[in-house]
Amino acid sequence: MQTLMIAFGAGVAFILAYHTYGRWLGHKIFNLCADTTCPSKRLNDGKDYVPTLKSIVFGHHFTSIAGTGPIVGPAIAVIWGWLPALLWVVFGSIFIGAVHDFGSLVVSLRNDGKTVGEIAGRLVNGRVKVLFLLVLFMALTIVLAIFGLVIAAVFRMYPQSIFPCLIQIPLAIGIGFLLYRKGLGLFFPSLITLALMYLAVIYGDRGILHDLNMAMSQWSLITWVIVLLIYSYVASVLPVWLLLQPRDYINSLQLISALALVVMGLIVAAFFGGAPVGEDAARPALEIVAPMVNSNPQGAPAIFPFLFITVACGAISGFHCLVSSGTSSKQLKSETDAHMVGYGSMLTEGFLATIVICACIAGIGLGVVTKTGQTLVGQEAWMLRYASWGAANGLAAKVGAFVDGAANFLKAMGIAQNVAIALLGVLVASFAGTTLDTACRLQRYVVQELAGSFLPEHRQYQGGLSLNPLVWLTNMHGATIFAVILGIAIAAAPPGGGAWSWAQAGKGGLILWPMFGATNQLLGGLAFLVIMFYLWRRGKPVFFLVIPLLFMLAMPAWALLTTLPDWLAAEQKNWPLIIIGIFTLILEAWMIVEGMILLPGVRGVLERTAAENRINSEAT
């Protein structure tokens, strides 16, 4: 029952926060106005800027920000005890993460739907813009290099999830066509599509489909990386309404309904126990089998600062500012929708992270099958996954802990084991897939903005043929192709300094992966800096941003300063990782100094508008 009270209490806290703190931010701080013309209408191009229903943008935003982050982060963070992880998820989501996402979305809405990196140039100065864009570029490069590997690994662990994930693509195109070309309402297409997706989960691993799943699960890692990044290229350059929006929307329907099923299973398990682990066995009671606080897990780094780097999505993630300012701000058709999309999506993700914690600290105790076929229950089941940092730190261990625990909740309701595993495998793979194709689109924007920063506007390509590479990178296709090729090249590099082999190709993203947590959280701190400058220039209160800003600048720097000596002392040094780590610290310090110098003199001084910037650029 304690597990149920944790989930219930977190859910109530998120609902209260949405209707109180979130509403205060929207009305008193950001002054959201339904009469303001949003960029989606003013700049409507039918491709990137498309006025869209609030529910569809919410689906896109939620699935894009979530990824596998709110699953793998909390799933490993409980090794320090369930209470620290839970407190960080709940209070981090309400007071830091949701404020970050909401603020990034609103600031972008007020700046033609530009990314926070581009906006930093208007609010702070041009140097900060370039520095910010470089950090964004590094973070997205790591995402593109690693998420193909993540999805391939999930497909290998759960082959039954492959066909249900593939079928989402034609279904998404179909629903996009019906909504935007045929003008149909949203309800019935959504209902039919959701039913088809669940049928694919239940029957998508039988007969010839089982053979298809097994055959594709054996594809090499580099094959999956190439296929997924080519798909991401297509999704990035197609009109947003045709594939990206509807795919993320129908994903959100399935993922939120799957989350609801897991919660229902948690309720059943709390009152009646889990599914019997044997033919004549009684239903095991649902109990928390993880420690409340574990300050010194075997082989684990210190809880400070690494808890706040390990749990990013689910509490606060800098990647979210890219989604808020890169894609969602170009789709909202009313400013007031930003409350639900920006603040509400983050709280939904926080609740997902809470359920992941419940699955990993209690659901897992209802039964885990070992490789030898033995079923462990209680603390023995938990220790199978969390005996040490090494045991809990791999992708398979983290995803496996959540799937084991959540599947036990579903089985408590009588759902068959194979269906439960397939549903959860689809949930994990779908989250990762939506993050990958959104990240590719975001990287395209960042590459275009970076190229434009080094190419004065009056010299940009206007027609005819140009051999200047920066001109090609300001083009939609050129920027996307560059992003995809770079992602494939890094993924194909041999990890660990070893010789290249076909078996190792696809794992190259692991070279830079240890940097992602700190870089990702640093983005959150820098986004807070941009939001603060926006409010400061307008004479608005910024007191509620001070602690989140300082916290999200300090934690990534602390983590990097702690790990850099270890990387330098390693016998086989990972020089790309070391160089980028040092470069990131320098960029952070530089941007902070630039901001501190400028901040005192700009209180109440509005920045130039986009139109004024264009006039000034043309004049120079």
Say what the pLDDT of residue 180 is: 84
- Is the CB of residue 530 less than 8 Å from the CB of residue 592? no
Residue with tokens 């039913």, as numbered in its chain: 195
CA 177 centroid distance within chain: 27
Q: Which two tokens stand for residue 280?
A: 């004549």
pTM metric for this prediction: 0.93
- Is the CB of residue 510 less than 8 Å from the CB of residue 149? yes
- Is the CB of residue 408 less than 8 Å from the CB of residue 275? yes
Closest to 406 (Cα-Cα) out of 373, 362, 371: 362
Angle CA(490)–CA(131)–CA(599) in degrees, nearest 5? 155
Phi-psi region of 410 (alpha: psi -120 to 50; beta: other; left: phi over 0): alpha
What count of residues does the chain have?
A: 620
Say what the pLDDT of residue 495 is: 82
Say what the pLDDT of residue 456 is: 59
Say whether 20 sits in a helix, a strand or coil: coil
* Each residue's pLDDT tens digit, 418-467: 999 999 999 999 988 888 999 999 999 999 999 888 775 545 454 555 55
* Each residue's pLDDT tens digit, 449-463: 998 887 755 454 545
Q: What's the one-letter identity of residue 129?
A: K
- Is the CB of residue 101 less than 8 Å from the CB of residue 345? yes
* Each residue's pLDDT tens digit, 548-578: 999 999 999 999 999 999 999 998 889 999 9
Model confidence at 611, in pLDDT bands (50, 70, 90)?
A: very low
CA–CA gap between residue 18 and residue 340 (Å, rounded)? 8
The overall average pLDDT reported for the chain is: 91
Question: Region 584-593: what's the mean pLDDT?
Answer: 91
* Each residue's pLDDT tens digit, 257-311: 999 999 999 999 999 999 998 777 889 999 999 999 998 899 999 999 999 999 9
Q: Does the pLDDT value for residue 369 go beyond 90?
A: no
> Within 10 Å of residue 376's Cβ, how many Cβ atoms?
18
Question: Region 580-602: what's the mean pLDDT?
Answer: 91
Burial of 533 (0-12, 13-18, 19+ CB in 10 A): buried
Q: Which two tokens stand for residue 355?
A: 């359920």
Q: Which two tokens stand for residue 428?
A: 């994990």
> Within 10 Å of residue 177's Cβ, how many Cβ atoms?
15
Q: Does the pLDDT value for residue 395 go beyond 80?
A: no
CA–CA gap between residue 505 and residue 492 (Å, rounded)? 5
Which domains, and CATH codes, for the chain? 2-619 (1.20.1740.10)
Q: Does the pLDDT value for residue 616 go beyond 80?
A: no
CA-to-CA separations, 448 to 134, 457, 614, in angstroms, rounded: 12, 12, 16
Q: Does the pLDDT value for residue 468 go beyond 80?
A: no
Residue with tokens 């298809």, as numbered in its chain: 212
- Is the CB of residue 349 less than 8 Å from the CB of residue 93? yes
Say what the pLDDT of residue 467 is: 59
Q: Which two tokens stand for residue 255?
A: 């993922």
CA–CA gap between residue 333 and residue 341 (Å, rounded)? 12
Say what the pLDDT of residue 466 is: 59
Q: Which two tokens stand for residue 205?
A: 């691993």
* Each residue's pLDDT tens digit, 38-74: 999 999 999 999 999 999 999 999 999 988 889 999 9
* Each residue's pLDDT tens digit, 592-608: 999 999 999 999 999 87
Q: Please enumerate in sequence order all residues whose Cβ is within 8 A of that of 300, keeping only pairs 6 or more positions apart, or say none.
A: 79, 80, 306, 388, 389
